[in-house]
């Protein structure tokens, strides 16, 4: 089972304002002026200025933050210009495919094995106030508490005073490399994160409920439910901007609706819910175009890649493997399969396939043929 991508590539000059070398992302001071660049296309140049507030409120300047994440939030780096929607605070993005929290990472789609969040923290040991942890889709449940405690301890030792921890999306099809994590794992780790914070031992850890925020925004994501489409990458950048503004007690750098005043102070996006018109606020580019940094030399390469799971064979009774596990997971999410994700195509799996075929007015055979797999949302181009 692989992830679909086009063999055709085209090179695009790296975006200005971001300096990358040998795996290190150099912090860039992002001002509201940059936000105007991203938002300006929708804002309407020359419109009347927002009314002056009756009373000025002095707030401390935003503190620098580092965002350490995995391949889900790496779309902020991969989707052209999406990073420009992160405005209002100085930040560094350290985003890598197949990254794990504390234990050794797996080899990622850009051809290298990244440091874990815990190890990567040592690359960001100076002058940071906030750590944003946006990883966990490559981790299991047994080591989550250990990972959490070790990351928090190291961040405290390095002088971080605030840790913002993202929840995971759990209503998803994604299965991590080696079948370490799946939708049940992600839900369990979200619950464990909340349990740990509820102990009162971690007052410096704040939840960013990305899982809850995006629960009803399937259109922002690829069919695996974890990786972002272009629209989702811009939405993720917008969310991070608003969450940090809320935590800092600042005004929102951008409005929630085009041509409307910004809110001051910025409300918590986890409370207000997702912004409805991301397309109206930002100039979202071509969906599926991702720009990677390949290998340890970080060769810049852009190509079409929709993160749709590609299956290379039809599946039927007696077959086994990770592709059968992906099929079972998708059928389970559709409430058609109640068995274990054992990657074995047995009678229970065949019955679920027959029910899906019957509901979808397909030939009812119990075999996941090309038409059935396509209807389930898999990439069947290699069949």
pLDDT in tens, the chain (383 residues): 433 333 222 222 223 233 233 333 333 333 333 444 454 433 433 333 344 334 444 455 577 999 999 999 999 999 999 999 999 999 999 999 999 999 999 999 899 999 999 999 999 987 899 999 999 999 999 999 999 999 999 999 999 999 999 999 998 878 777 768 888 899 999 999 999 999 999 999 999 999 999 999 989 998 889 999 999 999 999 999 999 999 999 999 999 999 999 999 999 999 999 999 999 999 998 888 999 999 999 999 998 777 667 788 999 999 998 889 889 988 987 889 999 989 899 999 999 999 999 999 999 999 999 999 988 888 787 78
Please check whether residues 138 and 254 belong to one and the same domain.
yes
Position 2 in a domain:
no
Please check whether residues 275 and 368 belong to one and the same domain.
no
- Angle (CA) 98-113-105 rounded to 5° is 50
Question: What kind and span of H or E run contains 149?
Answer: helix 144-157
Please check whether residues 109 and 221 belong to one and the same domain.
yes
- Residue 383: the pLDDT is 85
Q: Which residues contact 228 (CB under 8 A, 6 or more apart)?
A: 72, 73, 75, 79, 220, 221, 222, 235, 236
Which of the listed residues 287, 303, 319 is the one where a domain comes to its end?
303
- Tens digits of residue pLDDT in 234-270: 999 999 999 999 999 999 999 999 999 999 999 999 9
Q: How many domains does the chain have?
A: 2
Which of the listed residues 303, 334, 366 is the one where a domain comes to its end?
303
pTM: 0.74
Q: Please state at what angle helix 347-359 crosses helix 322-333, rounded to 10 degrees.
A: 50
Which of the listed residues 242, 270, 303 is the one where a domain comes to its end?
303
Please check whether residues 99 and 135 belong to one and the same domain.
yes
Give 3-state DSSP helix, strand, coil % of the chain, rounded to 5. Answer: 35, 15, 55
Q: Domain holding 117: CATH number? A: 3.40.50.1110
Please check whether residues 358 and 276 belong to one and the same domain.
no
Q: Domain holding 341: CATH number? A: 1.10.101.10
Query: Are 14 and 302 a contacting pair, CB within 8 Å?
Result: no
Residue that the structure tokens 């055979």 belong to: 365
- Residue 60: the pLDDT is 56
Q: What is the CA radius of gyration of the chain?
A: 22
Q: What's the CA gap between 71 and 298, in Å, rounded? A: 16
Position 1 in a domain:
no
- Residue 308: the pLDDT is 67
Query: Are 114 and 105 a contacting pair, CB within 8 Å?
Result: yes
Please check whether residues 127 and 238 belong to one and the same domain.
yes
Please check whether residues 91 and 238 belong to one and the same domain.
yes
Question: What kind and span of H or E run contains 41?
Answer: helix 32-43
Q: Where are the alpha helices (DSSP H) in 165-276?
A: 183-198, 210-213, 230-248, 269-272
Please check whether residues 295 and 316 belong to one and the same domain.
no
Of 278, 234, 232, residue with least CA distance to 255: 278
Q: Where are the alpha helices (DSSP H) in 199-321?
A: 210-213, 230-248, 269-272, 278-281
Please check whether residues 316 and 257 belong to one and the same domain.
no
Please check whether residues 258 and 114 belong to one and the same domain.
yes
- By residue range, what is the domain housing residue 318? 311-375
């Amino acid at each position: 089972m692989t992830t679909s991508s086009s063999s055709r590539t085209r090179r695009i000059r790296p975006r200005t304002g971001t300096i990358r070398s040998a795996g290190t992302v150099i912090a860039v001071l992002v001002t509201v002026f940059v936000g105007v660049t991203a938002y300006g296309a929708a804002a309407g140049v020359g419109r009347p200025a927002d009314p002056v507030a009756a009373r000025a409120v002095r707030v401390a300047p935003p503190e620098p933050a580092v965002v350490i994440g995995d391949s889900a939030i790496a779309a902020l780096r991969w989707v052209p210009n999406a990073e420009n929607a992160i405005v209002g605070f100085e930040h560094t993005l350290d985003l890598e495919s197949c990254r794990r929290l504390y234990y050794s990472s797996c080899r990622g789609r850009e051809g290298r094995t990244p440091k874990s969040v815990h190890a990567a923290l040592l690359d960001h040991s100076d002058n940071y106030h906030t750590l944003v942890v946006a990883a966990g889709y490559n981790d299991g449940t047994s080591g989550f508490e250990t990972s959490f405690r070790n990351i928090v301890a190291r961040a405290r030792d390095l002088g971080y005073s605030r840790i913002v921890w993202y929840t995971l999306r759990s209503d998803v099809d994604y299965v991590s490399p080696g079948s370490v994590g799946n939708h049940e794992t992600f839900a369990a780790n979200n619950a464990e994160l909340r349990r740990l914070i509820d102990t009162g031992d971690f007052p410096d850890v704040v939840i960013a409920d990305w899982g809850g925020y995006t629960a009803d925004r399937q259109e922002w994501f690829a069919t695996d439910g974890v990786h972002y489409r272009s629209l989702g990458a811009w939405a993720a950048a917008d969310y991070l901007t608003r969450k940090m503004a809320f935590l800092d007690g600042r005004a929102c750098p951008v409005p929630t609706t085009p041509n409307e005043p910004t809110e001051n102070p910025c409300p918590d996006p986890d409370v207000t819910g997702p912004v409805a018109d991301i397309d109206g606020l930002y100039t979202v580019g071509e969906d599926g175009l991702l720009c990677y940094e390949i290998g340890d030399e970080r060769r810049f390469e852009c190509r079409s890649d929709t993160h749709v799971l590609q299956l290379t064979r039809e599946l039927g009774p007696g077959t086994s493997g990770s592709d059968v596990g992906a099929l079972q997971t998708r059928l389970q999410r559709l409430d058609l399969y109640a068995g274990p994700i054992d990657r074995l195509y047995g009678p229970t799996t065949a019955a679920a396939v027959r029910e899906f075929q019957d509901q979808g007015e397909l030939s009812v055979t119990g075999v996941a043929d090309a038409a059935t797999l396509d209807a389930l949302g898999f990439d069947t181009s290699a069949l």
